[in-house]
Amino acid sequence: MRALDHPSQESISLPAVLAALSDPARLDVVRQLAASGGVVCGQFDALEHVSMSTLSHHLKVLRTAGVIHVEQRGKFRQHELRADDLESRFPGVLASVVATFGLDLPTSAQRAEPVLSR
């Protein structure tokens, strides 16, 4: 199975990111990802008035713009917000959009396993 194409961090463009975020259905995908701590495996909750093929299109727009990373995991696809890449490239842009939903941008530190002291 061929891996899906993703832009490198350096080649993520601001106009493309803003265009990807400029659609209510795609904003809802980003909201669900942020609410889930940055990663959703398998299905997104039903998006209003959006068919499965339209959802696929929206996920592709988010992926090719560099907003999400998508990877096949057995029967499911894992969708992950590229929070670190975007914050490093355009600090505050994705975070401020996610904040309009009353959510924080999940950082890699938050996603990492807790280090247990002995």
Query: Using CB under 8 A as the criterion, which residues of the chain lie in contact with a copy of itself when the complex forms?
Result: 14-16, 18-19, 21-24, 27, 90-93, 95-97, 99-100
Shortest separation between residue 12's beta carbon and a copy of itself, angstroms: 12
Cβ at position 108, least distance to a copy of itself in Å = 19
Which of 27, 39 has the CB closer to a copy of itself?
27
Question: Least distance from C-beta 111 to a copy of itself, angstroms?
Answer: 22
The 68-73 sheet, strands edge to edge: 39-41, 76-81, 68-73
The DSSP output letter for 108 is H
Shortest distance (Å) from residue 99 CB to a copy of itself: 7
Amino acid at 22: S
User: Between residues 44 and 90, which has the closer beta carbon with respect to a copy of itself?
Assistant: 90
Cα separation, 34 vs 28, whole angstroms: 10
* Burial per residue of 46-76, b for 16 or more beta-carbon CB atoms within 10 angstroms, e otherwise: ebeebeeeebeebbebbbebbbbbbeeeeee
For residues 37 and 91, which CB has a smaller minimum distance to a copy of itself in the complex?
A: 91
